[in-house]
Amino acid sequence: MNDILLYHIDEALLVAEKPAGLLSVPGRAEGNRDCVVTRLQAHYPDVLTVHRLDQVTSGLLLHARGKAMQVALSAQFERRQVGKRYEALVQGLVEEEVGEIALPLICDWPNRPKQKVDLELGKPALTRWRVMARDADTRCTRLELEPVTGRSHQLRLHLASIGHPIVGDVLYGAVPAARVCLHARALEFAHPRSGQTMAFESPVPF
């Protein structure tokens, strides 16, 4: 399926790994039809999107098989019952070991798809982070991230807002690099039919 790795498939759902640079869903422009869900639907026509990752982000994506399963799985995301862990490499040496970023976000319409912090009109957004490693030579820090909310570009903008943009994320002020170093590493949810806990982990490619 052209760089899409399948982690799990059954009659209710499919878990795949999205490569960096590929859209999760079709873009508005005719030239942006190629994406994860259309590639999956070529083999599994009943596959539907449950959540998305930014084009620059790699990692685990959950898809439903059929409308009923899409509704059930989407409800888990809405109720914040899905465990999500990301890993990022950020510019600079983060001083603290753990922390939270709570800054409301809104679309920066003149510069879309860019988002911005807006303390009056923005929607609440919360990110928890933990330092995994620091590299004094490159002056970069490896972080584990938990997006408690799921706003567009939340992790990217939150980290940039505290002075530690993700490596390669030029949209939010980082120095250019081979890729944006953000990966959706772990996903945990309840199977919509059996109720069994499903947990997946993807190796980080940077």
Active site residues: 54
Q: Is the dihedral of CA 84, 85, 90, 94 positive or negative?
A: positive
Query: How far apart are alpha carbons 153 and 85 in whole angstroms?
Result: 15
Tokens of 83: 């465990």
Pairing of strands 47-49, 58-65: antiparallel
Report the distance separating Cα 197 and Cα 204, nearest Å: 23
The three state secondary structure string of 107-139 is ECHHHCCCEEECCCCCECCEEEEEEEEEECCCC
DSSP assignment, residue 23?
B
